Amino acid sequence: MSIQPIEPELELSSHIQTLGHCSVTSPLPYRRFMSDSDLVMYDLDPGRLKARVRDGLEPMAFERAGAREKIYFDPANVKVAIVTCGGLCPGLNDVVRSMVHELYFMYGVRRIKGVRYGWAGLNPSNRLGLLDLDPEVVQGINEDGGSFLGSSRGPQPVDVIVDTLFREDIRILFAIGGDGTLRGAVAINKEIQRRGLGIAVVGVPKTIDNDIGMVSRTFGFDTAVAQAVESLRCAHTEARGARNGIGIVKLMGRHSGFVAANASLAVANASFVLVPEIPFDLDGPKGLLASLDSVLSKRGHALVVVAEGAGQDLFDDDFGTDPSGNRKLGDIGLLLKQRISEYFKSKKFEHTVKYIDPSYIIRSVPAAPNDRIFCVFLGQHAVHAGMAGKTGVLIGSWNNLFVHLPIELAIRRRKQIHPDGILWTSVLESTGQPESMVNSL
C-alpha cells in the first residue's frame, strides 16, 4: 500500500488559539492535569510515521484535552453562555448538564447563562432573553430528549451576536451543534478577534450522522443506531409476514450513511443498504429493482435500508435550501416505495411494500447510557478548554482519546464512508448485495 502524505492544510491547522497567558491557579480539587505538550498522534500507521521521520517531518499530533493547572479566566468573575443549535439530537441535555455541573461545582463559576433557541437567542430582536443556569435548574434534564434550551436552524447576523456577547459580558461561549453551527462559531470567533474582545469560543460536535471531519465519534450516533435497529427489526418482521414482502426503512444521513450502515450490520437482516457515498442504479439488468426481484425469488422477502441522502441523482427537481443553507433532499424512501411497487405491478408479481421513516422519533429520544457517558466527557473537556482561554477550539475524539481541534479544521471536509473501507466491505458481506448496482456517477 502506498504511503499517503498528510494534507498540507492539516499541517497548518492543528495549532490551538489561546486568548493569552494562563496565570490563574486552577481551583479543581482533583489535581490531575494535562499540559499543552501532551499530544495524541494523528496517524498511528507505522509506515507513514517512518516516512515522515525519514523526510525530516514531525509526526502530526493533536493537543490532548483535559484540565490545565493554570487557567486564563478567574472563576469568580467569568460569565459564560451555552447554546444548542440545529436539529435535535440525543444527548444535548446531557452535554448542557455536564457543563453546568463542571462549571458550578468544580470551578466555582456562578454566572452561567443558557441561550434560548439557538443563535436566534443571541439576537435581541427575537426577544428571547437568556436563562440563568445552575445545578438545580438543570436537574434531571438528562432524562429527557430534545434540548432543554431549545434550538433553531439558520444563521443570525454575526455582528449582532458579538454585540450581544459583549453587552452581556459573556467571556466564554460554548456552542453545541453540527456543521452549520460550527461554521457559525468560526465566523463569530473571527469577528471577536477582529474586535479584540477576548471572548473564548468552544465547540462541541453534535450530529446524529457522525459526519464531522477529524472527529472519530459524535454524541447521539450510538443512540440513533440503537433506535434505528428497532425500526429495521420491525420492518423485517413485516416483510417476512407477507408473501414477497418488502420492508423499506429510511434513516438519517444527508451526506454520510454511517447510521444506515451500522444499523444494518447490527440486525444482519438487510438485503440492501443504500448510502449517499455509493451511487446506485435503479433500473437496468444490474439495478436495484432487478436485484430486488432476484432476492424475492430466492428468499420470499427483502429489507431495504436507505439513508436520506442516497439516490439524490434520481430526482430531476431542485428542492431549494433549508434555513441552514443545506440543499433540501428529495424523499428517496417514498420514491423507492413508488418505483418498487410500479415495477412489480407491471410484472403482475404479487407483493407488499411496508415503508417506515423513524427519523423524528430517533432524534427526540433520550440518550442511551453509552452516549450519556460520552456527553459527560465532552461537557467536562469543553469547560476545561474554555477556562484555559482556548478559542476557536472543538472537543473531539481521536484514536480513543479526547483532543483539542481547531473548529476550522473539523469543518473543512465531511467524514464519509469509504467505498473500499472495512465498514462498507462488511455491509456488502452482510447483505450480499451486488457491487454491480453501483453506477458510474
Along the chain (441 residues), what's the average pLDDT of each consecutive run of 10 residues?
42 81 96 94 83 82 96 98 95 98 98 97 95 97 95 92 98 96 96 97 95 91 96 96 96 95 96 96 93 95 97 84 74 96 94 94 94 97 98 94 94 92 95 77 44
Backbone angles phi, psi at 285, to 5 degrees: -65, -20
Alpha carbon distances (Å) from 191 to 126, 196, 197: 21, 9, 9
Sorted by sequence, the CB contacts under 8 Å of residue 91 that are 6+ apart come out as: 206, 219, 220, 223, 367, 371, 372, 374, 375
Q: What is the pLDDT of residue 46?
A: 85
Based on its alpha-carbon atoms, the radius of gyration of the chain, rounded to whole angstroms, reads: 24
DSSP line for 48-109:
HHHHHHHTT-PPPEEEEPS--SEESS-TTT-EEEEEE-SS--TTHHHHHHHHHHIIIIII--
**Rounded Cα gap, residues 440 and 437, in angstroms:** 10
Same fold, 8-218+367-410 and 223-364+419-437: yes
Are the C-beta atoms of 42 and 62 separated by less than 8 Å? yes
Q: State the cell numbers at 278.
A: 455509493
Residues in the chain, overall count: 441
Alpha helices in 115-214 (DSSP H): 158-167, 179-195
- CATH code linked to domain 223-364+419-437: 3.40.50.460
Beta-strand pair 393-398/200-205: parallel
Q: Can you list the positions of beta strands (E) in 108-233? A: 111-115, 130-132, 172-177, 200-205
- The burial class, CB within 10 Å (0-12 / 13-18 / 19+), for 395 is buried
What is the b/e burial string over 164-202, where b = at least 16 CB atoms within 10 angstroms of the residue's CB? bbeebebbbbbbbbbbbbbbbbbbbbebbbeeeeebbbb
Helix axis angle, 258-267 to 221-240, nearest 10°: 50
- Which residues share a beta bridge with 62? 40
Give me the residue spans of the domains in the chain: 8-218+367-410, 223-364+419-437
Q: What is the pLDDT of residue 6?
A: 44
Find the catalytic residue in 74, 132, 169, 209: 209
**Rounded Cα gap, residues 312 and 342, in angstroms:** 19
The answer as to CATH 3.40.50.450 being correct for domain 8-218+367-410 is: yes
Q: Is 74 a residue of the active site?
A: no
